[in-house]
């Protein structure tokens, strides 16, 4: 096959583009550039913006500048073999400057006497004369005036490929393919988007361009406005395709799936809410209203309930479950750990003690006979509310399942959540998360889910004081802890891992390690019992204990028999001991911000003020210090989530394992949040008007949508 035997298409191997060949193609393949289309859509990672042409008297040291003039002197000076200095003088009507190149003797052949040039770089004063060292030099024709410097694309590179070569390869792909590209955004849609983006105060000075203009301008923009318009067009297109897919999935829920309506009424609502021995917050009331409306429909509720620690999500979930039972259907609550599942079971048993609601518990540690009895009662309908762990996923049959509630949804994989809701008529679905979700994430990962947010905390809750500890503070801190214990309070001590040699326990947040761990929970427990906390009752909790041992430890702590609980992150979620007001976190650099915030939530459950101090092991990096400083200074979980997202970037958040969404090619959901909002609104309006995108004008856009998201739509309705 020869280079010109067939027309170039997006799928043409890169090696057949002029000037590339098989050897260069192999190098490009290392960074994923295998076809002409890959090169065409290899968007620059940055741009080089040359300074506008200046006059000599306008130069400032340290400020980039460009200068147009004529070479009036040029010479190469050799000092030692293999080393040289080439110098030249550039002069125009405003004065003269010197340019210098080290070990580049070939410059003498390019930059010759009487040649007209434009130089760009950072000037420095050398004596009384301005000097540019290794400037960028553009050779000008004799009749050219002052040239307008070009904005240069900067591409990702691989070994053996230089920036100027990459620019040439991409330009070759542009020339070969640009004219044959299919436009997927109709002109009226681009006009609509342009108006909406400007209304959102995005600095869009020219309208969104068509695909042919945009592809050239994203690589070789004429000016900053041209670049902004081209980039915004591709960002909008990428986000619009995603939001259309999510909007189609949302609509699919109302047409393809059927659920039993579980309506509320004034009487049923009063019967449920009267059981809560406290005043509901405004956010809780609004959430219950939305859930009641959703569950009364003939298609499944698919709602994500997110709230900061201590905001009362469990109360809202109880309302939803009681709504199902009040309509003579069953409800199930799945928790990520047995400790939390048993706590939910105890809470429900206590709140519904004088009711006719029958509650069951299903956990992995139960014996065969107990499990068999629970399964039989669930299948016959003798159990109204079933609480459990992942055990709920296997071999269970409900008489009439109306509602699934998933606590801490991020602890479960997508397929696990699908398994719980499969079979028969689809139940309504409520997932809860105590990890606040940034707005941009909510519109992408959860873009096909109804979102309810609890921001208010129940009245009477104490605040939490957070401290970033220093080594020299440790003695003072333990003195403070003992003072709190002597006043009748209780305390947590959290360490990252079980012991120096540990295998991770499924279902817990512990990690495996083969190195000595100075903050292991077992060594901390021994040291505290014989040292700082000698004389106090200290308990030990971690994932390697048996279920009975865990239950005994937690009951002793909840009943006040234990003063201090030394634990791994098994206490991260849902543990509710209002008298525990002090927490010490060791090896804090090993925890993420969200996890630290979850742990902090364990000491803000009652009326007393909470105190949390985090200590690190050894030297901490500047990044670790910044992250922990943010934790110390930020108590609001939503602000913390945004800060965490900014520090980690979207790559860690948008993994296909959890979100089901592929990575973005050009859009940055964190920095392009305003474009994302516009794309979301236009996508929803488009699907409302044309649910299947059946209008011929949408066919190219629909093809792109199905190529990118079609296979992922099967799981897209599950949060």
pLDDT digits (tens, 9 = 90+) for 199-212: 999 999 999 999 99
Q: Residue 554 domain-assigned?
A: yes
Percent of the chain with pLDDT over 90: 46
Q: Residue 206 domain-assigned?
A: no
Distance CA 668, CA 661 (A): 14
pLDDT digits (tens, 9 = 90+) for 131-177: 999 998 888 776 544 556 678 899 999 888 888 899 999 999 999 99
Segment among 309-313, 331-335, 589-593 with least mean pLDDT: 309-313
Residue 704: its H or E element? helix 699-709
pLDDT at 497: 73
pLDDT at 20: 92
Segment among 73-82, 85-94, 580-589 with least mean pLDDT: 73-82
Q: Residue 703 domain-assigned?
A: no
Residue 363 has pLDDT above 80, yes or no: yes
Q: Residue 156 domain-assigned?
A: no
Residue 338 has pLDDT above 70, yes or no: yes
CATH value at residue 115: 2.40.50.140
Q: Residue 657 domain-assigned?
A: no
Q: How many CB atoms lie within 10 A of CB 622?
A: 7
pLDDT at 190: 97
Distance CA 629, CA 112 (A): 57
pLDDT at 445: 67
Q: What is the mean pLDDT of residues 328-353?
A: 88
Apex CA 542: angle with CA 539 and CA 548, to 5°?
Answer: 80
Residue 705 corresponds to which tokens in the numbers above?
A: 């949508």
Which of 634, 658, 690 represents a domain boundary (last residue)?
A: 634
569 and 470 fall within a common domain: yes
Residue 430 has pLDDT above 70, yes or no: yes
Residue 333 has pLDDT above 90, yes or no: yes
pLDDT at 64: 86
367 and 406 fall within a common domain: yes
CB contact burial 7-46 (16+ within 10 A = b; e otherwise)? ebebebebbbbeebeeebbebbbebebbbbbbbbbbbbee
359 and 416 fall within a common domain: yes
CATH value at residue 563: 3.40.50.300
Which of 150, 171, 199 represents a domain boundary (last residue)?
A: 150
Q: What is the mean pLDDT of residues 623-644?
A: 84
Q: How many CB atoms lie within 10 A of CB 201?
A: 8
Q: What mean pLDDT value characterizes the chain?
A: 84
274 and 284 fall within a common domain: yes
Report the first-to-last Cα separation within the chain, whole angstroms.
Answer: 49
pLDDT at 646: 72
Enclosing domain of residue 475: 464-634
pLDDT at 654: 40
- Which has more confidence, 280 or 571? 280
pLDDT at 661: 54
Do 137 and 69 contact (CB within 8 A), yes or no?
no
- Phi then psi for residue 490, to 5 deg, are -125, 165
Q: Residue 291 domain-assigned?
A: yes
pLDDT at 439: 72
Q: Residue 224 domain-assigned?
A: no
Q: Residue 251 domain-assigned?
A: no
Q: What is the 3-state secondary structure (H, E, C) of 42-68?
A: CCCCEEECCCCECCHHHCCCCCCEEEE
pLDDT digits (tens, 9 = 90+) for 267-297: 999 999 998 888 899 999 999 999 999 999 9
411 and 473 fall within a common domain: no
> Residue 413 — very low, low, confident or very high, per pLDDT cuts 50/70/90?
very low
Residue 1 has pLDDT above 50, yes or no: no
pLDDT at 118: 87
543 and 479 fall within a common domain: yes
Apex CA 692: angle with CA 688 and CA 697, to 5°?
Answer: 95
Do 547 and 362 contact (CB within 8 A), yes or no?
no
Q: What is the mean pLDDT of residues 40-63?
A: 87
272 and 402 fall within a common domain: yes
Residue 596 has pLDDT above 80, yes or no: yes
Segment among 336-350, 370-384, 492-506, 698-712 with least mean pLDDT: 492-506
Residue 509 has pLDDT above 90, yes or no: no
471 and 572 fall within a common domain: yes
> Residue 498 — very low, low, confident or very high, per pLDDT cuts 50/70/90?
low
502 and 584 fall within a common domain: yes
pLDDT digits (tens, 9 = 90+) for 641-670: 777 777 765 544 443 334 445 678 899 887
Q: How many CB atoms lie within 10 A of CB 252?
A: 16
172 and 282 fall within a common domain: no
Distance CA 89, CA 581 (A): 74
27 and 57 fall within a common domain: no
Domain count, the chain: 4
pLDDT at 393: 64
40 and 58 fall within a common domain: no
Percent of the chain with pLDDT over 70: 87
pLDDT digits (tens, 9 = 90+) for 108-118: 888 999 998 88
Which of 600, 634, 668 represents a domain boundary (last residue)?
A: 634
């Amino acid at each position: 096959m020869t280079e010109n035997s067939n027309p170039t298409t997006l799928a043409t191997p890169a090696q057949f583009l002029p000037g590339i060949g098989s050897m260069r193609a192999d190098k490009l393949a290392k960074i994923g550039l295998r076809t002409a289309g890959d090169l065409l859509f290899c968007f620059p990672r940055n741009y080089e913006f040359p300074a506008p042409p200046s006059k000599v008297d306008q130069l400032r040291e340290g400020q980039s500048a460009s200068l147009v003039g004529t070479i009036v002197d040029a010479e190469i000076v050799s000092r030692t073999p293999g080393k040289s200095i080439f110098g030249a003088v550039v002069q125009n009507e405003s004065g003269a400057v010197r340019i210098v190149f080290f070990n580049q003797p070939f410059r003498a052949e390019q930059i010759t006497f009487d040649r007209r040039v434009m130089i760009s770089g950072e000037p420095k004063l050398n004596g009384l004369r301005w000097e540019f060292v290794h400037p960028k030099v553009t050779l000008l024709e004799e009749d050219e005036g002052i040239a307008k410097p070009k904005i240069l694309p900067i591409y990702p590179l691989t070994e053996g490929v230089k920036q100027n070569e990459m620019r040439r390869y991409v330009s070759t792909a542009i020339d070969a393919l640009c004219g044959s590209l299919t436009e997927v955004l109709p002109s009226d849609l681009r006009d609509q988007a342009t108006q909406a983006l400007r209304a959102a105060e995005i600095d869009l000075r020219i309208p969104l361009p068509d695909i042919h203009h945009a592809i050239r301008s994203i690589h070789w923009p004429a000016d900053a406005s041209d670049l902004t318009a081209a980039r915004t067009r591709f960002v909008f297109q990428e986000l619009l395709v995603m939001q259309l897919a999510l909007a189609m999935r949302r609509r699919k829920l109302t047409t393809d799936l059927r659920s039993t309506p579980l309506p509320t009424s004034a009487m049923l609502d009063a019967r449920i809410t009267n059981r809560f021995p406290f005043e509901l917050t405004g956010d809780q009331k609004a959430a219950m209203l939305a859930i009641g409306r959703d569950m009364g429909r003939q298609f499944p509720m698919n709602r994500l309930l997110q709230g900061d620690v201590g905001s009362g999500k469990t109360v809202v979930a109880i309302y939803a479950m009681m709504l199902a039972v009040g309509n003579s259907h069953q409800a199930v609550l799945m928790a990520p750990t047995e400790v939390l599942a048993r706590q939910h079971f105890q809470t429900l048993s206590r709140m519904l003690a004088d009711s006719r609601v029958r509650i069951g518990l299903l956990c992995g540690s139960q014996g065969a006979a107990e499990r068999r009895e629970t399964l039989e009662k669930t299948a016959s309908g003798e159990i109204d509310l079933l609480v459990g762990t992942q055990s709920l996923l296997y071999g269970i049959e409900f008489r009439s399942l109306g509602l699934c509630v998933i606590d801490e949804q991020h602890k479960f994989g997508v397929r696990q959540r699908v398994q719980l809701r499969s079979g028969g008529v689809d139940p309504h679905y409520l997932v809860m998360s105590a990890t606040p979700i940034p707005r941009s994430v909510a519109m992408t990962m959860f873009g096909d889910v109804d979102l309810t947010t609890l921001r208010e905390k129940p009245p009477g809750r104490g605040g939490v004081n957070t401290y970033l500890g220093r080594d020299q503070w440790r003695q003072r801190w333990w003195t403070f802890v003992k003072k709190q214990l002597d006043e009748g309070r209780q305390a947590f001590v959290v360490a990252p891992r079980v012991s120096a040699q540990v295998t991770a326990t499924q279902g817990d947040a512990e990690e495996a390690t083969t190195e000595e761990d100075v903050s292991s929970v077992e060594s901390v427990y021994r040291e505290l019992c014989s040292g700082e906390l000698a004389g106090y009752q200290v308990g030990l909790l971690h994932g390697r204990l048996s279920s009975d041992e865990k239950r005994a430890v937690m009951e002793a702590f909840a009943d006040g028999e234990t003063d201090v609980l030394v634990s791994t992150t098994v206490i991260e979620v849902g543990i509710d001991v209002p008298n525990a007001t002090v927490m010490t976190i060791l090896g804090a650099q090993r925890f993420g911000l969200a996890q630290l915030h979850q742990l902090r939530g364990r000491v803000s459950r009652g009326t007393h003020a909470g105190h949390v101090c985090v200590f690190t092991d050894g030297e901490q990096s500047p990044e670790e210090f910044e992250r922990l400083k943010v934790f110390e200074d930020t108590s609001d979980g939503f602000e913390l989530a945004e800060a965490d997202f900014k520090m980690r970037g979207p790559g860690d958040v948008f993994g296909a394992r959890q979100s089901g969404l592929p990575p973005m090619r050009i859009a940055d959901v964190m920095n392009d949040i305003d474009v994302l909002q516009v794309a979301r609104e236009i996508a929803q309006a488009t699907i409302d008007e044309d649910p299947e995108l059946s209008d011929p004008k949408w066919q190219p856009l629909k093809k792109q949508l199905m190529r990118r998201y079609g296979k992922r739509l099967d799981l897209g309705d599950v949060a």
